[in-house]
Chains A and B, each alone.
Chain A
Amino acid sequence: MAGAHRHLLVHAHSPIHALAPEAKIAATFLFVVGVAVTPREAVWAFAVDGLVILVLLAVAGYGLRQALARLAAVLPFITFAFLVPFVSSGERVDVLWFSVSRDGLWAAWNIIVKAVLGTGASLVLAGTTPIPEVVRGLGRLRVPAVVVSIVSFMFRYLDLIVDEMGRMRTAMVSRAHDPRWLWQAKPIASAAGAMFVRSYERGERVHAAMLARGFSGTMPELEHRRAGARDWTWCLLVPVVSISAAVAGFALT
């Protein structure tokens, strides 16, 4: 749910923190793909995947409470998934005192387990990789340089813009503005418009500053440590597990 997005970095020095970001990003993505293609009946496969995630979260330095709190981001979908057996069609079974769709139960399980595992994998990545490294990692993964630069600029100015919006909010609240209903949202929306203009003008000034230091259209190449074989080997072990489990799951069902 897009709400207050605070960065999820865990402040520790685990072996996972030290791995090269491009390897971690690729591994996370592939792991999640492995989970996503696993047939839902292969419950044991998900158990294996879950174990891997738990181990990684522990190694990354997550405390139990912290991990659970962040996994709770997935709760809205779990709530929705609980409704699925009730609204699904198909053969019914009795669960406790309800009559629900059997296929619906499997479908709910499918959504919940994949959502939780996917979120867990994202938490491992986000928890062990500071933002500048993620940006570099994306560049290493052949994401177009333009996109990487845009992401870099985004992060650079995100805090400033959030702070400024916060200050506007404070100013409104200080003048006893306490909107409850949609039609009272005018000041907030107007502030958003004003904020866009300020941001745009800042963009133009940054552009002028870039020109002043010789910018001619493409960002200069700046060097960073490349991922070694060691990084890749360790990282790719993770998706190997989930993909093998998926394949085995297919074979056995």
Chain B
Amino acid sequence: MTAALAVDGLSFSYPGGRLVLHDLSLTVEQGERVAVLGPNGAGKTTFALHLNGVLELQTGAVTVSGLPLAKANLREIRRRVGMVFQNADDQLFMPSVREDVAFGPANLQLPKDEQVARVAEALAAVEATELADRAPHHLSGGEKRRVAIATVLAMRPDLLVLDEPTSGLDPAGRRELANLLLSLPLTQVVITHDLPFALELCPRSVIVSGGTVVADGPTSELLSNTGLLAAHRLELPFGFDPRALGDR
């Protein structure tokens, strides 16, 4: 079966010379949920921005469900890869929730009634139907996060990439998000500092450090390896013991 995502030898530096990604390779199968862990500045967000072609490839290749990332395929790639950004305010830029969720389908040039249907479907999936006519800046953090996910679901992506989805959420919001993501049958790549969240959601994790993948395996194994964690500035919350949760 074609991999949902195949990243091969990705290298990237910003103008000014700083090499941020260094020969990064990763394969994610259909339906997998993979957590991407790593210290700040490791290049995780830069990596994410490659997956939907926001950053132009310098070295390496990215393939989404068999379709290679290239200028000619950008629109389709961006439909297939649903990117949920770290800061919800950055991606809710329309005057109302409804218009934000409709933005993607409208850009795909779907017929009007199809757009309306997609909006309803996406909002229902995140349980935000009642928020449709609200202005984004009047929403709470958790509501914004859910609506942001809806804006991406409306495009019916094959793969969901989430950058620090739990940042700024209170424990209840975190719970709601975890339940939501568990309920979505999409391939998911979750970039996160929230190790317990990664353990709960993602059976598999990779650690990205210094611009490349330094570890790749079952989440509970990685999180039990305190030496590995410490080497890359990762640390479990006080009193949290992954082994106590049994095999996940």
A–B direct touch, CB within 8 Å, in complex? yes
Q: Is B95 in contact with A213, judged by CB distance below 8 angstroms? A: no
Question: A132-B135, A156-B136 known; A213 and B103 CB under 8 Å?
Answer: yes
Chain A 191-233 interface 0/1 with B at a Cβ cutoff of 8 Å (1 = within): 0000000000010011011111111100011110000000000
Q: Is A155 an interface residue (CB 8 A)?
A: yes
User: Which 9 pairs, one residue from A and one from B, show the smallest C-beta to C-beta distance?
Assistant: A214-B107, A220-B106, A209-B91, A213-B104, A205-B90, A132-B95, A212-B83, A208-B54, A212-B52
Whether A160 lies near B95 (C-beta < 8 A) is: no
Does B152 make an interface contact (CB < 8 A)? yes
| Nearest CB in chain B: distance from A17 CB, A | 16
User: With A205-B90, A209-B91, A209-B93 known to touch, is A214 a contact of B99 (CB < 8 Å)?
Assistant: no
CA distance A3 to B61 in the complex (A): 53
Cβ distance A142 to chain B, nearest Cβ, rounded Å:
19
Is B129 located at the chain interface by the 8 A CB criterion? no
Contacts of B136 in A (CB 8 A): 156
B155 interface contact, C-beta 8 A: yes
**8 A-B contact pairs sorted by A residue (CB < 8 Å):** A157-B89, A202-B89, A209-B85, A211-B78, A212-B81, A213-B103, A213-B155, A216-B107
Identify which of A155, A206, A220, A221 gathers the most chain B CB atoms within 10 Å of its CB: A220
Closest CB in chain B relative to A218 CB, distance in Å = 10
- Please name all residues of chain A whose beta carbon is closer than 8 Å to the beta carbon of B107 when the two chains form the complex: 213-216, 220
On A, residues with C-beta under 8 Å from B are 131-132, 135, 152-153, 155-157, 159-160, 202, 205-206, 208-216, 220-223
* The one of A152, A159, A221 that contacts B106, using a Cβ cutoff of 8 Å: A221
Determine the distance from Cα of A205 to Cα of B93 in the docked complex, in whole angstroms: 11
Residues from chain A with a CB closer than 8 A to the CB of B53 are 211
* Interface SS, A side: helix
Question: What 0/1 pattern do residues 43 to 62 of B give for CB contact below 8 A with A?
Answer: 00000010011100000000
B146 within 8 A of A: no
Please tell me which one of the listed residues B91, B99, B108 contacts residue A206 in the complex, with CB atoms under 8 A apart: B91
Q: Could you say which residues of chain A place their CB within 8 Å of the CB of B137?
A: 156, 159-160
Distance in angstroms between the alpha carbons of A131 and B96 in the assembled complex:
12
Q: How distant is the Cα of A9 from the Cα of B31 in the complex, in angstroms?
A: 49
- Which residue of chain B lies nearest to A159 when distances are taken between CB atoms in the complex? B137
Specify which chain B residues have a CB less than 8 angstroms from the CB of A159 in the assembled complex: 137
Given A212-B81, A214-B108, list of 8 further CB < 8 A pairs? A132-B96, A209-B85, A209-B90, A209-B93, A212-B152, A216-B107, A220-B106, A223-B112
The minimal Cβ–Cβ distance linking B178 to chain A, given in whole angstroms, is 23
CB-CB under 8 A from B78, the residues of chain A are 211-214
Contact digits for B111-124, partner A, Cβ 8 Å, 1 yes 0 no: 01000000000000
Q: Is the CB of B89 within 8 A of A153?
A: no
CA distance A214 to B152 in the complex (A): 11
B79 within 8 Å of A (CB atoms): yes
The interface residues of chain B lying within 8 Å CB-to-CB of A211 are 52-54, 78
Q: Known: A132-B96, A156-B94, A211-B54. Is A222-B102 also a contact (CB below 8 A)?
A: yes
Does B167 count as interface, using CB distance less than 8 angstroms? no
Q: Is B243 an interface residue (CB 8 A)?
A: no
> How far apart are B62's CB and chain A's nearest CB, in angstroms?
14
Closest to B92 in A: A156
Name the residue of chain B whose CB is nearest to the CB of A153.
B93
B182 nearest CB across to chain A (Å): 23
Is the C-beta of B25 less than 8 angstroms from some C-beta in chain A? Answer: no
B133's nearest neighbour on chain A, judged by CB, is: A132
* Known pairs A159-B137, A211-B54, A222-B102; A152 contacts B90 (CB<8 A): no
Closest residue to B138 on the A side, CB-wise? Answer: A159
B133-149 contacts to A, CB under 8 A, are 135-137
Checking B87, B96, B151 against A213 with a beta-carbon cut-off of 8 angstroms, the contacting residue is B151
Which of chain B's residues have a CB closer than 8 A to the CB of A216? 75, 107
A156 touches B95 (CB 8 A): yes
- What residues of A have a CB within 8 angstroms of the CB of B112 in the complex? 223
Question: Bound state CA distance, A212 and B49, in angstroms?
Answer: 9
Complex: how many Å from CA A159 to CA B137? 8
Q: Which residues of A contact B151 (CB under 8 A)?
A: 213
